[in-house]
Amino acid sequence: MKTAWAYARFSSDHQREESIDAQLRAIQDYCQRNGYVLTNIYRDEAKSATTDDRPQFQQMFKDVNSAPPDVVIVHKLDRFSRDRYDSAFYKRKLKERGVQLVSVLENIDGSPESVILESVLEGMSEYYSKNLAREVKKGKNETAHQCKHNGGNPPLGYNINENGNYVINPSEAAVVRLIFEMYAEDISYTKMAEKLNKQGHRTKWGRAFTQNSFHDILKNEKYKGLFLYGKTAVPLGTKRVQKEPHIIVEDGVPAIVEPDLWERVNQKMKENRKRNAAKGAKRIYLLSGIIFCGECGAHMTGNTRKAGRTNSIYSGYECSNRKKFKTCSMKGIKKDDIESMVIDYLENEFFNEKNVMELVQKLKAHSIQYRSDSALELQALKTELAKEQKGLDYILNLIETGEGKPWMIEKGDQHYERINYCKDKIAYIESLSETTELTEKQMYDYIMKDRDVKKKSPEAQKRIIQTYVEKVVIFNDRVDIHLIVNKSGADEGNRTPVASLGRL
């Protein structure tokens, strides 16, 4: 009696491919026609074949070690893996246990011709997976242009009909309107949740409302009839910035809330956000990390304290050794005074025509040298990439034909990791090379946009200072301001008396 296991995988309900049930029916039919007894079935739903991080897939290989079947059957080879390296590795593991991988649709019988065909099919599947995202995006955009649902759960207040259109769920819509009305009446999120739960209302997922349930509801523009697609939060530095939607359709969905009420509520949310931000605003210390004590060399840190009979609040910078260990005699210096001194210096001494033009020339020379060095590094990386790819292909061919050795798996991993490193590094250098080919005017304009430092926001002031100032050193009788790129005739930095600066 020949035994068989079935492995089926389905990655997304938006892909036009066979469902898991259809795959299993085809596998069962194959078993009946070829005399196999199907003993185990493994199925991964909503899992990509470009990775081996699939629970049932991994469980299948654990089970293979204890009681291997004669064959593992898949509907198509791309159900097993779309990554050629993973595919070769796991097929070799099956072969080591005497298990053959069988495809229902592809006639793979172990002959040399079949091995070649298998490689071609896997290569096509890998290519398909890389282009799938673009094709899926095209389909989603077309669906969005028709104002149809594009996946996931619809918002509270809507159902999706058989054509994929949004239709109002009357009982849920009443809850949505109540939420907007309560917020417009200045009822807190906590009170809103208590009231809704007391009345027996539930979220779209059947859960009780909490104070975290309302923000997304109140911001959802579908409730005023506006259909948006492509509005997502994307990472930018340390923040997440909202990306503007690229498909906007007025009256694209049936409105649940009057546009006037929606606008009033969202204006109120903005005002509340500003008010809360002002309450929790922290003092921004423009020189943090670059201000030092001239007495002992330690960092000076920003702090706020009350002093005097009226308990007035003073902000300043204090030597960390003095503050923690009482081992330094340097007194603290007022925050506003020293920060104003640095800003004045930048505006008056650094951001002037002569100095900035000299800086532009230095940057131009650096840019030329960088492109020259990058071109050499790029050439070396591409040579290494070709060499690593050749080594990996050689090992893959040996593994796939059964001539490989156990140590080759680890060697293949090393090749694979190095290939990815080279690709990432090449992409990084090529992206940087585009930004380094700037004209002198572009560089000049970029620097001079920061010249009016006093008019900038505190966040912008800190960015400008930290861009051009290397360090600020506080002595008892002077302040030394050192630029990252020193201005002409100031090799040791600016030296300014501190008589006018307030001490803490």
Q: Per-residue DSSP letters for 290-322?
A: TEEETTT-PBEEEEEEEETTTTEEEEEEEEHHH
Q: Which of 58-67, 165-174, 259-268, 404-413 has the lowest mean pLDDT?
A: 404-413
pLDDT (tens digit, 9 = 90+) per residue, 171-229?
999 999 999 999 999 999 999 999 999 999 999 888 899 988 999 899 999 999 998 87
Greater model confidence, 384 or 248? 384
Ramachandran quadrant class, 307 (left: phi over 0; alpha: psi -120 to 50; beta: rest): beta
Q: Is 278 exposed, middle or buried (0-12, 13-18, 19+ CB in 10 A)?
A: exposed
Query: Residue 322: CB partners within 8 Å, gap ≥ 6?
Result: 293, 328, 329, 330, 332
Contact between 258 and 293 (Cβ < 8 Å)? no
What average pLDDT score do residues 90-96 get? 76
Mean pLDDT of 142-161: 83
Protein fold of 158-279: Hect, E3 ligase catalytic domain fold (3.90.1750)
Q: Reduce the DSSP state of residue 247 to 3 states and report it.
A: strand
Instruction: Classify residue 351 by burial, with Cβ atoms within 10 Å: 0-12, 13-18, 19+.
Output: buried
Q: Judge if pTM exceeds 0.75.
A: no
Question: Is the pLDDT higher at 305 or at 83?
Answer: 305
Range of weakest confidence among 244-253, 318-327, 345-354, 455-464: 244-253
The whole-angstrom distance between residue 464's C-alpha and the CA centroid of its chain comes to 26
List 299's β-bridge partners, or say none.
292
Please report, for the chain, the start and end positions of each structural domain, with discontinuous segments joined by +.
2-143, 158-279, 284-351+450-504, 358-438
Residue 490: predicted pLDDT: 43
Residue 245 pLDDT greater than 70, yes or no: no
Cα–Cα distance, 418 to 383 (Å, whole number): 12
Query: Would you tell me which CATH number, out of the four given (3.40.50.1390, 3.30.420.40, 3.40.50.2300, 3.10.20.600), belongs to the domain 2-143?
Result: 3.40.50.1390
β 71-74/469-474 pair status = unpaired
Q: Looking at this protein, which amino acid is placed at residue 226?
A: L
Mean pLDDT (the chain) is: 79
Q: Which two tokens stand for residue 502?
A: 């307030």
Q: What angle do CA 487, 490, 493 make, to 5 degrees?
A: 100
